[in-house]
Amino acid sequence: MLKITDIFNRLMGAKSRLSRLETLVLESIAKELDGRMASIWQAQIDAINKIQRLPEGIEVDFYRMNKGKPFFDPALSFPNSSPEIFIAEVHLESQEHQKLSAKIWGVKGFLFSIEYDCSPVYFEELTGMDPQVDLKITCTLKADLAASV
């Protein structure tokens, strides 16, 4: 049975928008990419129209849907189109020394998921504070997205 909040979120499209934390994680990767790969990265993010979050937000999956099915537009694909690719690892640390690690994965040349090492709820709340809280964010690329496979 759907809760009222679930119905409201679906009507308002909240399930298909990136959270502030997800945006920070994905932007930290964009900063590490060169011009062409950064452009493809942003185009893929802009094309996301369905986001599936597992309980507690421990994993977030991104889809580009067309007619109810996942769509892999070849014009948006990275040259590295491995069946599964470990794109990057991002580490976040709060001023209180709370830590969160995220692994970002791709499928067939497309950004697909963020997997956190623990529930990101604390960091989701931090990113929504006013004034904004400073977070130490480090990103390590794990794959060459420009490499043809």
Identify the band that residue 130 occupies on the pLDDT scale cut at 50, 70 and 90. confident
Tokens of 128: 């929504």
| Domain limits for position 70 | 15-141
**Is 146 part of a structural domain of the chain?**
no
**Is 35 part of a structural domain of the chain?**
yes
**Is 5 part of a structural domain of the chain?**
no
Burial-class residue 49 by CB neighbours within 10 Å (0-12, 13-18, 19+): middle
Tell how far CA 33 is from the center of its chain. Answer: 15
Burial-class residue 84 by CB neighbours within 10 Å (0-12, 13-18, 19+): exposed
Identify the band that residue 133 occupies on the pLDDT scale cut at 50, 70 and 90. confident
**Is 149 part of a structural domain of the chain?**
no
**Total of domains in the chain:** 1
Q: What angle separates helix 35-47 from helix 20-30, to the nearest 10 degrees?
A: 160
Q: Is 31 left (phi over 0), alpha (psi -120 to 50) or beta?
A: alpha
What tens digit of pLDDT does each residue of 76-124 get?
999 999 999 999 999 999 999 999 999 999 999 999 999 999 999 999 9
**Is 3 part of a structural domain of the chain?**
no
What tens digit of pLDDT does each residue of 21-63 get?
999 999 999 999 999 999 999 999 999 999 999 998 999 999 9
| H/E segment holding residue 120 | none
Say whether pLDDT at 64 is over 80: yes
Cα–Cα distance for residue pair 125/132, rounded to 1 Å: 11
